A and B are shown apart, each in its own frame.
Chain A
Amino acid sequence: MTIEHLQPDHLYQRCDPAQYDFKTTEQLEDLTEVIGQPRAVEAVRFGIGVLHKGYNLFALGPTGTGKHALVQRYASEQAMADKLPPDWCYVNNFQQPHAPRMLCMPPGRGVELERDMEQFVADLYDTIPAAFDSDEYRTRSQAIEDELGEQREQALKQVQSHAEEKKISLIRTPTGFTLAPVRDGEVLDPGEFKKLPDDERERIEQDTENLQDELLKVLQQIPGWQKETRDRIGKLNREIASSVVSHLIDSLRASYQELPAVIKYLDEVEKDVIENFRHFLRQEEEKHGLQVFGIDVGQRDDEMQVDKRYQVNAFITHENHDRAPVIYEDYPSYNNLIGRVEHRSELGALITDFTMIRPGALHRANGGYLIVDALKVLMQPFAWEGLKRVLQAGKIHIESLAQLMSLVSTVSLEPEPIPLSVKVILIGEPHIYYLLSMYDPEFNELFKVAVDFDYRMDRTPESQQLYARLIGSLVRVEKLRHLDRSAVARVVEYSARLLEDGEKLLTHTRSLTDILREADYWATQQAHETVTADDVQQAIDARIYRVDRVRERMQEEISRGTLLIDTTGQKTGQVNGLSVLDLGNFMFGRPSRITARARMGDGEVVDIEREVELGGPIHSKGVFILSALLGARYLPDRPLALSASLVFEQSYGEVEGDSASSAEFYALLSALADTPVQQSLAVTGSVNQQGEIQPIGGVNEKIEGFFDICNMRGLTGDQGVIIPATNIKHLMLREDVREAVAAGKFAIHAIDSVDDGIELLTGLPAGQRDQQGLFPQGCLNRRVEDTLTRYSVAMQAYASPAGKGSTGDSKLST
């Protein structure tokens, strides 16, 4: 049995500014290493270093622990050493325009090819019209046409000549030609024809028929001649176009001779330009396409615009990059990850081509690192499935969601997939990692490396020095005022307080940064050049003030007697318990009156909170434990004939946790022993079945909560709080509490067992069983056991046949 009356130095693990040999953090070097995360650092190095499939990373840890900064830093460092990934371009597939082809180019060459092809097209617009405007072409083509003309003319002249010999003329009709007999330049009138002698008429008819046959033969030959002419001119056209294109393409071939895929593409371009050289002869206005009411509405025909046809979509380029990419995708929607094919509207229809393929984050990070927030990916429709599919396939296949879901059946682009080599780093809260790990079988295959971030580290002299450098680094990053050594010490203490542990330091950089920013604000208000400990304290106080309205109201109601809390005197069956209210960004302690009532019964301890479903499972567990402790501790060889009830008075919300189980036990013992309890003390600590006191959370808030009430009413010197001895290391109490303890106006008692508590609360010794197994007379345990014995005897009397209906006798015998 040990009761420790804690001295002020137990109540606060002070950080001595004298341990720092700097005046302000300005003199400190930036912290280059990561502190407090040795496990995470090792995991990141491992994950980034392993190049096998599936060794992607999941950085898990509470928000604000610097996960993003750490993975970004290590990924960037590795990226500097990594080889620069290739450029990726999409080009037209001349055979299947709906399936654009992909070209893999050395870094920077993609943009070069894009520019070269733009220049190539511009050159074609100059050289092709010039070639077809040349004297060579005009002369040669005119000669071919003239040849046809002469051939045709000669044939027709021959018919005309034969006709003239027979006094017949070739005449054009609305839809063709005919041969008619003429006299003096005029067609023979039908009347005159009839007047001709029969043999004359027969001769004319026969001649006309013969000539018509001859004309028909000539006309039948003309299409053949025309086709031959067209073929010859077509051949000439190709020859001229080829000479121009080959010259231009050859210079491109020379530039890209070491890239066979590009050479193959250039071969196809050459062939296609020769086939489609007419595009380059169009007028400027024709190139832009169809207009309606003066508005450009797109292409004149269905063919892809010639300017685009030979364009290169330099999809991913690394022209000005000096390292492998490290991409953070802030909005990881399906399209932003996988890429998309854009469309433009033309006369109500949606049109697209390979120049409208846009990369996603995976394309941009290909050959490097992609950092994504896990929750954001999971919240975007199909993004998680898309990411997994791509990682499994090892290549990126751009498919719209509509295609994926088979919602549309129209023809769209199917770009050639791009091989993927990327290290994906997901960042998220631990519960996301555990849920995915448990419920998504693919997750463990694809994200084999867990990077587990801690939010605290050991507080040692060395770590406090590093912490000062961390503060200095954050100040520089945030461009704040530097801190003097006292301010640093105060921040270190505040860090320990946030953790509720005097032996640990918080590595939650966001919380640390927040207090530095706020201290900087108050230093500015005070016109301090550097942030002092007072500025830090001001920041802490102001922060509490902003959020402690609820605490104030509760304290006010206690002081007005609305909430019943005694801080002086003695009461039987009533103990001041301590609870913590968590408002999310602020926690505070408040005393609660715990009362117990006991009478003879069938061995049941009723937890009223549980009965009305206001008690949480852990709280109920605590009550069950204390019931078991009661049964084991007193009358171990008899049934407990007890009916007891426990309640948090004036508690109208849910009660959770077992930190009040010792207080409830004391209240029950007080009721059973009919012994009053000191109301100047408050109790916290959970109890186990052995009667040992176990540590609880929120010990600082709980002590401060009771202190505030006592202080408000006036400290008597008797007041104090009983805490588990195992919580001493967690104490980081407020200065006013420490001062009161130092002045003997308030006390903190640390205990190990319920017996210690009994003694402090009742002033009676708990009492240990003697050799006969009996508690000594006058101790509290004896009183409890006597009461329980009386209940048991009475209950026995009620249970015996003689006792039935004669309760009065039984009572008397107890």
Chain B
Amino acid sequence: MTPATEPSTIRRIAVTLDASESGRPPLETAARLAAILGAELEGVFVEDINLIRLSGLPFLREVRPWSIADEQISSQRMQRELRTLARRAEQMLERVARETGVPWSFQVWQGRPEATSLLKAFGADILSLGRVSTRVSSRMFATARRITPQSRKTDASISVLFSGSEQAARAVATACSLAREMGARLTVMLPASPAQAMPVLKEQALAILKRHAQLARFVELAGTDAQSLRQASDTATMSILIAEAEHPLLQQAGLDQCLDALFCPVLLVR
């Protein structure tokens, strides 16, 4: 491993901002990691280019789920609402950054909300992803009526996807740092691979763990889709997922599907 794989080389952590409360966990995770690594926090509010485009189509109506009403879409209103969301996102970033004491910056980025694009666009070492896509998820309507006793509080658990690449090594090293600081359990997820490849991958991961004096357990993913990741995350009671930006699973299954499946902050390491 080269020194570049070490988390100490991480200088900038970007985080996609969502003005809603569900956007706060990825932001807090990123802020905490930035504080641990001494990195700068860069908040990005993504204006999906698709929203800009569709606001120009005069026949489209917006349907609102809570008021169960529809209204004509207009460019002017869309721009105004996006500005409002951006302002709220910036305020949330400022608050969290002040609490964690990390330097921060904020910008609005217009384009496709793809992780790789975002990483490239900002030159960040790590990207913390929350809900960025405009794709509709069925979980958006989830009700929280089920009783969850407070006594059933699970400890923080960090999972890291390891593919054996240099970026993946950096992801594991970052996960070690974060797990140590948070006192969290660490799980290394290995991709579904041929039987002979698995021990090699595990050996590589163990070497990194040893260097960081970090214990971890290993989970092998059953498949190469988002559902496999979700099953594995349930087993690990995952609260943060760390992965290399170019991880094959994220490429194949699609980042949005994974985010939808996991419902926890995802850190992408470049």
Contacts and interface: CB of A to CB of B under 8 A. Distances in A.
13 contacts: A129-B150, A149-B138, A152-B138, A153-B138, A171-B54, A172-B133, A174-B81, A175-B62, A187-B50, A209-B61, A212-B70, A219-B68, A281-B149
Interface stretch (A31-39, A229-237, A609-617, A652-660): A229-237
Interface string A216-237: 1001101100100110011001
Interface of A: 129, 132-133, 137, 141-142, 144-145, 148-149, 152-153, 156-157, 160, 170-181, 186-190, 193, 205, 208-209, 212, 215-216, 219-220, 222-223, 226, 229-230, 233-234, 237, 278, 281-283, 286
Contact of A237 (B59, B65, B135, B147): B147
A222 B65 contact: yes
B70 to A, nearest CB: 6
Contacts of A179: 60
Interface in B80-125: 81-82, 84-85
A142 B139 CA distance: 14
Give the interface SS of chain A, mostly helix, strand, loop or mixed.
Answer: helix
B134 interface: yes
B135 A172 contact: yes
B51 interface: yes
A233 B81 CA distance: 36
A156 B64 CA distance: 14
A177 B65 contact: yes
Contacts of A223: 68
A137, A176, A209, A229 interface centre (most CB from chain B within 10 Å)? A176
A233 B59 contact: no
Given A137-B147, A230-B145, A177 B73 contact: no
A187 B82 contact: no
A187 B54 contact: yes
A160 B136 contact: yes
A171 B147 contact: no
Contacts of A181: 57
A283 B60 contact: no
B105 to A, nearest CB: 23
Contact of A141 (B56, B70, B138, B146): B146
B152 interface: yes
B62 A178 contact: yes
Contacts of A177: 62-65, 136
A178 B54 contact: yes
Interface of B: 49-51, 53-54, 56-57, 59-65, 68, 70, 73, 78, 81-82, 84-85, 133-136, 138-143, 145-152
B134 A172 contact: yes
B66 to A, nearest CB: 8
Considering residues A160, A187, A188, A234, which has the most beta carbons from chain B within 10 angstroms of its beta carbon?
A187
Contact of B149 (A129, A152, A172, A190): A129
A132 B151 CA distance: 10
A156 B260 CA distance: 15
A179 B62 CA distance: 8
B17 to A, nearest CB: 13
Nearest to A174: B81
Contacts of A141: 146-147
A187 B53 contact: yes
A132 B148 CA distance: 7
A233 B146 contact: yes
A133 B54 contact: no
A274 to B, nearest CB: 13
B138 A173 contact: no
Given A176-B62, A209-B59, A283-B150, A222 B53 contact: no
Nearest to B144: A145
A149 B142 contact: yes
Contacts of B149: 129, 132-133, 281
Contacts of B59: 205, 208-209
Nearest to B58: A190
Nearest to A140: B146
Nearest to B138: A153
Contacts of B152: 133
A219 B53 contact: no
Nearest to B147: A132
A293 to B, nearest CB: 17
Contact of A186 (B53, B70, B81): B53
A229 B51 contact: no
A149 B84 CA distance: 31
A220 B141 CA distance: 12
Contacts of B140: 172
Nearest to B84: A174
Nearest to B56: A190
B70 A171 contact: no
Nearest to A172: B134
A420 to B, nearest CB: 47
A192 B133 CA distance: 23
Nearest to B67: A176
Q: 10 closest pairs, A vs B, by CB?
A: A190-B56, A176-B64, A153-B138, A180-B54, A174-B81, A187-B50, A129-B149, A141-B146, A187-B53, A283-B150
B143 A226 contact: yes
Contacts of B142: 145, 149
Given A145-B143, A176-B62, A189-B56, 19 more contacts: A132-B148, A133-B151, A142-B146, A152-B141, A156-B138, A171-B50, A171-B51, A173-B73, A173-B78, A174-B51, A176-B64, A178-B60, A178-B63, A180-B60, A212-B60, A223-B68, A229-B145, A233-B145, A281-B147
Q: Of residues A133, A173, A237, which shows the largest number of chain B Cβ atoms within 10 Å of its Cβ?
A: A173
A286 B149 CA distance: 13
B57 A174 contact: no
Contacts of A233: 145-147
Contacts of B70: 176, 212, 216
Contacts of B64: 175-177
Contacts of A153: 138
Contacts of B136: 156, 160, 170-172, 177
A706 B17 CA distance: 114
A281 B61 CA distance: 43
Contacts of B135: 171-172
A282 B73 CA distance: 44
Nearest to B70: A216
B56 A208 contact: no
Contacts of B82: 174
A208 B139 CA distance: 24
Contacts of B54: 171, 178, 180, 187
A180 B50 contact: yes
